[in-house]
Structure 1
Amino acid sequence: MPRKSCGRVCCRGLYSCHWETKLREDHPGKHACCGFSVVLLVSLLSLCWMYICLVTFNDQEDVNWEGFKMLKRWVNFFMLGIIVSAVLTSYCVLLLLIALFHVAIGEKLDLHWFHMIFLSLGVLFIASGLTGISLKWKQEWPTVPLSLQATGPFLQFGAVVALTLLSPLVFRCFLRSKNAGCKVLIALVFVVISAAIFLCPLLIHSPCLLSELPEKPKLIGHRGAPMKAPENTIMAFNRSVECGVTAFETDVQLSKDRIPFLMHDNGSDFLLRTTNVKQKFPDTHFSHSANLTWEELQSLNAGEWFVETDPFHTVRQLSEDEKKAAQNQSIPSLLQLLNLAKEHNISVIFDLYSPDQENDTNDTVRTILSSGIDPSLILWLPPDERDAVSLAAPGFIQVYNNLKEMLNKRGTHLNMKYSKLSTEEIRELRSHNKTVNLWVVNEPWLFSLLWCAGASSVTTNSCHLLRDMERPSWVMSPLQYRIAWTVVDAVAFLLMTALFIVQRTTHSHSREKEKRGDNTSAWNELMPFLPTV
């Protein structure tokens, strides 16, 4: 390859910011090796961080809610974080590829200080993100090992391919090194990494490695269908009916005049996110649902915020008529939802937010019983006053959000966050005829994993997406996976062996030419950062 080739000059300029034909010779190999190590480590770190962001995308609403509580303003903080993370990861990986190209063509590695600054900022950004998760969102960490059950087999296949592609560079380093200790180190590290990648399927246990697929989990509309209409509005629940949900999930509070109504946010500024309360009552601060009468709550608009903020980036999918309908939604009462559920024979499950659990529970139960809905369609979730509710309304199905409590009460229905139960526990509960609902499940990969594990149902924001899934994203029998794993590993091993033999033969011929004085340049410039004797 000519010294002034376009590819060589561009890579040199992008990596070291030196565009001249000959690089300066005052940069010792130790610095070059350090720069390459930094690029490699930060690239791996950014890839791991990007993976965490992608698998936690299912719970983006939780992050945005934390941001809203601090700023009292709805901003899609999670999406901003995803964009910054994607830019950082792309930058680091591109820099690593350029460095590997340098090594392949024998160009001297000379990382510019400008890149070191940006890599340091990237590390600070990732460290801040990890710290934020650990302090404010630590309940999300179980999602990462759970996701590996869905992605593990494919990550292993990808790692084998990457190892095979990088092996020629490792072999070059090994063959070119004149230091016996360095050769042993290179060989040892490569063998250990290869063995770990080839054998890691022994540690991969995915519920989707099965012979018989369980029944598809039923769908429960989380506050209706909040990706298609404003949450906790009649329009949202009607859209969830179109998805074929078997239950409505909602949140109940009581007004000043004892009318149960639907609203998730509670406590300070409970109306600020999803209504125009600031415009309707500009000089009044409402800290609790009992501050307003039902008539005052009805006067608020509960849909304009959805079109204006577009929390799930789905408003553009709505027609103009649908947008107008969304903008004219009001806060519904529990009775309105019960009538809709009765009409479509759909169950209702809800949380009850109240400082006065006894009285509010009594009024809520009274409203349900007077509605005429079949009591078996009510999935009673609030843990307080459960015994009193069982006596007043024995037809309600008691649903527990605590596994130990359900077992102690000999209950049959469990409702928990998806990351609180392992896939083995889900299968065990289902084998004992326990109904297991998991919330909130939005992403197809997660729904697929829980489907394979045998979950009874999931509470979801994206019922319109999960409704159309006829099978999990992937299912494979254990035998098929073992065959695929063995074949991929065997092919990779044979390819690497062949590459090593070819490179060793080429290297031997090159050494013979050097002895005869015929060799002029090819290997003399290779990897100045490696120690030589």
Structure 2
Amino acid sequence: MPQDNSCCRVAYSCHRKRSSKVKKCACCWLSFVTLVSLLSLCWMYICLVMFNDRDDVNWRGFEVLKRWVNWFMAMVIISAVLTVYCVLLLLFALFQVALREPLNLHWLHKIFLFFGVIFITFGVTGISLKWPQEWLTVPVSLQATAPFLQFGAVGALTLLSLFVFQGFHTAKGKWSKFLIAVVFVVLSAAIFLCPLIIESPCLIEWTDLPEKPKLIGHRGAPMLAPENTMMSFERSITCGVIAFETDVQLSKERIPFLMHDQKKGFLKRTTNVKDKFPDEDFSHSANLTWEELQRLNAGESFLKTDPFRSVSQLSEEEKETARNQTIPSLDQLLVLAKQHNISVIFDLYSPNQENDTVDIVNTILSSGIDQSLILWLPPAGREYVNTTAPGFIQVYNNKSELLNKGGNHLNVKYSNLRTKEIREFRSSNISVNLWVVNERWLFSLLWCAGASSVTTNSCHLLKDLEEPDWVMAPRKYTIIWITVDIVSIMIMTGLYIFYRKTHCFSHRKGKEKKREITSAWNEKELSPFLATR
């Protein structure tokens, strides 16, 4: 082929040397491209399943930098570009191999691939050090995606088998062929048989599908309004939530108000405290009076930062309402809950929760709300609450404490409870609420598992979900799995036979051509001698 091949210049260098050293180097780089492609695909999968908790990543970034940036979305975009680039590079490499062209990776691609490895390494290390509990999301997600990933893996294995067969036949030495054969057979067996260990709550009959989980508004409806504001809770009512979830702190004069962030700079993310108090850096809710808290704007930052990329969905009137939100008191929320017969569940952030519990319980009792609408979650002061307000429903965030106290309401993070445990609790008439659930795939999975309710930021999206994304009868799945495996084995067998015949034919033709060349050369060498005779 000519040296100025444009396709070659775009992706690979155009050296045509075919020495054994060059071939070994090309093989190593092909292996490296394959490895990085697989790593990038796995990393992209991790990013997509962790997208449910993207707000946690951005919040942690804000804690460090004191500036709200959608760090998670930036990471997803970079990961997507890296994955597409690696996969395209791998496909082009396989195309080169199929054409039996020399594979000489361009130095620019080597740099980009090493950058990809470094990026993924930093990502994995960052999650492991700063967000280790999020790794539990991956095995949870596999319960929803594993059946379909297996089908995809079978398809990819079938397509790549042709290259494996080519490498097997061109390999020199019995040990090389033996190694290729063993690795391929073991990998194929693992992919074909992995459904034996796949478990998913959605592999059930439609008639066994549990009731759809109820919705609890996480700080209201924070995708539609500023979190922990009256507008947010009012918007969540239109979603049909059964409870408001919020966070309570106390001002200097012991008035309970709604605010999630705590410790130093706790007002910076959701209010304009820097504008109102430029020389102050408050570290505790008791640093401010209720009058000072009321002077803060709790909606403008929502419009500026657009944390869920949802502001564009609001009308101009809704944006104006959001712009004028203030920090609400607990009493204001209780009045709203009482009007609409909606429960209230909250976390209590305070260094002295025992004392704060007394003020909060007094505020709740003074509001006149039905005690059965209060879902008491804070563990501190639980005995006092049971004595003073026996009508409150006690909710536990720990499985052991729930069982020891004989409770019947559990509230935990979705990744801290196995689907089997959810079913066991539900069969014992224990209500199970899981937080924070924002994505359809996760809500669908927990629906199949039998969750009683979920705390969510996206109540407006989940309320319209009429059925899980997928439900499949176990027998039907088994039939599909076996059929896909059999078809793949038949196709690979056909490809092997075809390639072997083609290879043997080419090998025989090569031998015949070599004999012809040898014969012609011998005749040429002997012709002077015959002429003299």
Shorter-chain TM-score bucket reads over 0.9
Equivalents in 2 of 1:281, 1:188: separation in Å? 70
| Equivalence for 1:389 | 385
CA offsets per residue over residues 495-524 of structure 1, 9 Å max, x none? 11111112222222222322322999xxxx
| Equivalence for 2:195 | 201
| Equivalence for 1:308 | 304
Secondary structure of the 1:229 match is: coil
CA offsets per residue over residues 323-348 of structure 1, 9 Å max, x none? 11111111011111111111111100
| Equivalence for 1:450 | 446
Secondary structure of the 2:491 match is: helix
Equivalents in 1 of 2:488, 2:50: separation in Å? 32
| Equivalence for 1:265 | 261
What one-letter code is carried by the residue in structure 2 that aligns with 1:325? Answer: T
Q: Confirm or deny: 8 A CA contact 2:270 2:299 kept in the other structure.
A: yes
CA offsets per residue over residues 187-214 of structure 1, 9 Å max, x none? 1111111111100101101111112101
Q: Confirm or deny: 8 A CA contact 2:256 2:329 kept in the other structure.
A: yes
Is residue 2:185 matched to residue 1:180? no
CA offsets per residue over residues 381-416 of structure 1, 9 Å max, x none? 000000000110000000000110011000000000
Equivalents in 2 of 1:447, 1:303: separation in Å? 29
Equivalents in 1 of 2:312, 2:189: separation in Å? 49
| 1:157 aligned residue (126, 151, 166) | 151
Equivalents in 2 of 1:375, 1:100: separation in Å? 67
| 1:498 aligned residue (489, 494, 499) | 494
- Tell me by how many angstroms 1:23 deviates: 2.2
Unaligned runs of 5+ in 2: 517-533
Q: Confirm or deny: 8 A CA contact 2:331 2:364 kept in the other structure.
A: yes
- Tell me by how many angstroms 1:471 deviates: 0.9
| Equivalence for 2:22 | 28
Count the aligned residue pairs.
513
Given the superposition, is the C-alpha separation of residues 111 and 263 from structure 1 closer, same or farther in structure 2, using an over 3 Å criterion? same
Larger mean Cα displacement after TM superposition, 326-335 or 351-360? 351-360
| 1:120 aligned residue (105, 114, 126) | 114
Larger mean Cα displacement after TM superposition, 481-490 or 186-195? 186-195
Secondary structure of the 1:32 match is: helix
Is residue 2:392 matched to residue 1:399? no
Whichever structure has more helix as a proportion of its residues is 2
Given the superposition, is the C-alpha separation of residues 25 and 167 from structure 1 closer, same or farther in structure 2, using an over 3 Å criterion? closer
- Tell me by how many angstroms 1:10 deviates: 4.5
| Equivalence for 1:274 | 270
Equivalents in 2 of 1:81, 1:242: separation in Å? 33
Equivalents in 2 of 1:162, 1:181: separation in Å? 26
Q: Confirm or deny: 8 A CA contact 2:18 2:102 kept in the other structure.
A: no
What one-letter code is carried by the residue in structure 1 that aligns with 2:101? Answer: E
Equivalents in 2 of 1:215, 1:519: separation in Å? 77
| Equivalence for 2:220 | 224
What one-letter code is carried by the residue in structure 2 that aligns with 1:492? Answer: S
Is residue 2:402 matched to residue 1:409? no
Equivalents in 2 of 1:178, 1:354: separation in Å? 71
| Equivalence for 2:428 | 432
CA offsets per residue over residues 361-400 of structure 1, 9 Å max, x none? 1111111111111110000000000000011000000000
Equivalents in 1 of 2:458, 2:6: separation in Å? 46
| 1:87 aligned residue (59, 64, 81) | 81
Given the superposition, is the C-alpha separation of residues 214 and 476 from structure 1 closer, same or farther in structure 2, using an over 3 Å criterion? same
Equivalents in 2 of 1:59, 1:319: separation in Å? 27
Q: Confirm or deny: 8 A CA contact 1:376 1:397 kept in the other structure.
A: yes
Is residue 2:365 matched to residue 1:334? no
What one-letter code is carried by the residue in structure 1 that aligns with 2:32? Answer: V
Q: Confirm or deny: 8 A CA contact 2:203 2:471 kept in the other structure.
A: yes
| Equivalence for 1:256 | 252
RMSD: 1.6
| Equivalence for 2:522 | none
Equivalents in 1 of 2:209, 2:2: separation in Å? 59
- Tell me by how many angstroms 1:178 deviates: 4.1
| Equivalence for 1:61 | 55
- Tell me by how many angstroms 1:4 deviates: 5.9
Equivalents in 2 of 1:477, 1:519: separation in Å? 63
Secondary structure of the 1:354 match is: coil
| Equivalence for 2:186 | 192
Q: Confirm or deny: 8 A CA contact 1:249 1:350 kept in the other structure.
A: yes
Secondary structure of the 1:174 match is: helix
Secondary structure of the 1:165 match is: helix
Is residue 2:141 matched to residue 1:147? yes
Larger mean Cα displacement after TM superposition, 246-255 or 511-520? 511-520
Larger mean Cα displacement after TM superposition, 280-289 or 372-381? 280-289
- Tell me by how many angstroms 1:282 deviates: 1.1
Unaligned runs of 5+ in 1: 521-533
Given the superposition, is the C-alpha separation of residues 155 and 10 from structure 1 closer, same or farther in structure 2, using an over 3 Å criterion? farther
| Equivalence for 2:520 | none
Report the TM-score when normalising by structure 1: 0.94
- Tell me by how many angstroms 1:272 deviates: 0.7
Poorly superposed stretches of 4+, deviation over 3 Å:
3-6, 24-27
Report the TM-score when normalising by structure 2: 0.94
What one-letter code is carried by the residue in structure 2 that aligns with 1:75? Answer: V
Secondary structure of the 1:142 match is: helix
Given the superposition, is the C-alpha separation of residues 179 and 324 from structure 1 closer, same or farther in structure 2, using an over 3 Å criterion? same
What one-letter code is carried by the residue in structure 1 that aligns with 2:437? Answer: V
Secondary structure of the 2:95 match is: helix
Larger RCO of the pair (alpha carbons < 8 Å, separation 6+): 1
Q: Confirm or deny: 8 A CA contact 2:52 2:438 kept in the other structure.
A: yes
Equivalents in 1 of 2:405, 2:484: separation in Å? 50
- Tell me by how many angstroms 1:236 deviates: 0.5
Secondary structure of the 1:351 match is: strand
Give the alignment of 1:281-296 within 5 angstroms: 281-296=277-292
Equivalents in 2 of 1:207, 1:13: separation in Å? 51
Larger-Rg structure? 2
Is residue 2:65 matched to residue 1:44? no
Q: Confirm or deny: 8 A CA contact 2:222 2:457 kept in the other structure.
A: yes
Equivalents in 2 of 1:508, 1:5: separation in Å? 31
CA offsets per residue over residues 89-148 of structure 1, 9 Å max, x none? 111111111110111111101112222222112111111111111111001111111111
Equivalents in 1 of 2:55, 2:342: separation in Å? 26
Percent sequence identity over aligned pairs: 68
CA offsets per residue over residues 243-278 of structure 1, 9 Å max, x none? 111100000111112211100011111111100011
- Tell me by how many angstroms 1:291 deviates: 1.1
Q: Confirm or deny: 8 A CA contact 2:375 2:393 kept in the other structure.
A: yes
Secondary structure of the 2:165 match is: helix
| 1:131 aligned residue (125, 130, 139) | 125
